[in-house]
Chain A
Amino acid sequence: MKDFKSRLFSSESRLSDLITAYPSILSLLTRLGISLGFGDRSIADVCEQSGVDTTFFLLICNVYTFNNYVPSTATILGTDMTGLVPYLEKSHKYYVEKRLPHIERHLDSIAQELNGRIGKVFISFFEQYKQEVEAHFMHEERDVFPHIRALMAGKRDTTYGIDGFLQNHSDIEGKLDDLLNIVFKYLPPQVDDDNVLDVVYDILRLSEDLKKHTFIEEKIMVPLVRHLEKAILS
């Protein structure tokens, strides 16, 4: 599994071929700043037109597609990472403004089929989860991302260091897995199966997406910031 390069798409491939092979990449495009309607143009062409660095685009796509792919420090440092923080911010926005409310609507309709008190506890479980996710993202947007922007601009701000990041990087997928188990195993039979299935697919997709998001933060963002911090100190 060392040489992913031979299996990866090159910048000369058609973007549409990449998506046909790996449809999950579709959900990344907007976050990476690429709109649909790219026709038959190559990855390099589409990226250039959209102002996205091609190597950065491919790096993110590869991480999303290949589960065992961990980019080396050399690959990370050899890639233009200007797009990283905007990408992570847009992802947060996508989760908070699109995915979570979408799941919430489904859960609300399931809760209405449940007996009042159980429905309430069910909904408050998700409310609590949403607040945790938002607090998690807020911390990153307030402390971590400005730190990275400063480093990239060649400035050292002394207030924050990336070393504490991993210790405090809480798991935001765990509770989604709990929710998944509750929803498809333990809801009483009076709840409509179609409703349940809809939300199960949504939760699964979000859970997968969040895992990759965490991976990108821990395996790409952290090594990058470590390097930048060292470079600025010396």
Chain B
Amino acid sequence: MKQRLLIVEPSEVIIEGLKSVLESQSRFKLLEPEVSADNLEERILSTHPDVLLVNPTILNKNVSALRNEYNVAVVALVYQYVERDVLKGFDGVVEIRDGRTMIIETLAQASPVAEQHSQNNYELTKRETAVLIQLAQGKTNKEVADALNVSVHTVISHRKNITHKTGIKSIAGLTVYAMLNNLIDESALL
């Protein structure tokens, strides 16, 4: 199966350049690029990328947090000055002057991690588990969003993914699931 690649980069010229570089390869499926990192998490939740190729200067979130929460490999796309320490956290670095083969190889090397975690992984992520626990206690989407400091939209996306993985839609059903998996106990129920 092709790996899903999401480019997060403000420059249209760079995006177009990358597209034409990656066009002829068959390993990656290019998702519609994102020009800012503002709605990145929602975008990740709705499109399930395996690899992010992201401009570190616009990234407003910790790389390891992204990797852990969403099971994606995060590769830096560098054409400006970026501190070396910042780049250390990434799963790979694509330099703007790299050739086609080099770029594809960097992306491919970054993604084995993602490979085992991609769409066939039905284990809930830490974040999804946190959302599930809140929901199972009878909280509304809004209350969960406030408690976890994310948007309601993000909570809804997490819920969709939880349902996709478990096959359970209703809150009552998720509560039973949470109890069976020892995520909550009776005292947590209202």
Contacts and interface: CB of A to CB of B under 8 A. Distances in A.
Interface of A: 117-118, 120-122, 125, 128-129, 174-175, 177-182, 185-188
Interface stretch (B9-17, B57-65, B73-81, B176-184): B176-184
A79 B167 CA distance: 39
Contacts of B172: 125, 128-129, 175, 178
Contacts, number: 51
B169 to A, nearest CB: 5
| 3 smallest beta-carbon distances between A and B, as pairs | A178-B173, A181-B167, A178-B168
B167 A121 contact: no
Contact of A178 (B169, B180, B189): B169
B120 interface: no
A132 B51 CA distance: 44
Contact of A188 (B166, B177, B180): B180
Interface of B: 166-170, 172-173, 175-177, 179-181, 185-186, 189
A116 to B, nearest CB: 9
B175 A182 contact: no
B168 A121 contact: no
Interface centre among A121, A125, A179 (most CB of B within 10 A): A121
Contact of B173 (A118, A120, A179, A188): A179
Contacts of B170: 174-175, 178
22 contacts: A117-B186, A118-B180, A121-B179, A121-B186, A121-B189, A122-B176, A125-B173, A125-B175, A128-B172, A129-B172, A174-B169, A174-B170, A177-B169, A178-B167, A178-B173, A181-B167, A181-B173, A182-B168, A186-B166, A186-B177, A186-B181, A187-B180
B135 to A, nearest CB: 13
User: Which of A120, A180, A186 neighbours the largest number of chain B CB atoms within 10 Å of its CB?
Assistant: A186
A117 B185 CA distance: 8
Nearest to B136: A121
A157 to B, nearest CB: 35
A118 B179 contact: yes
Contacts of B181: 186
Contacts of A185: 166-167
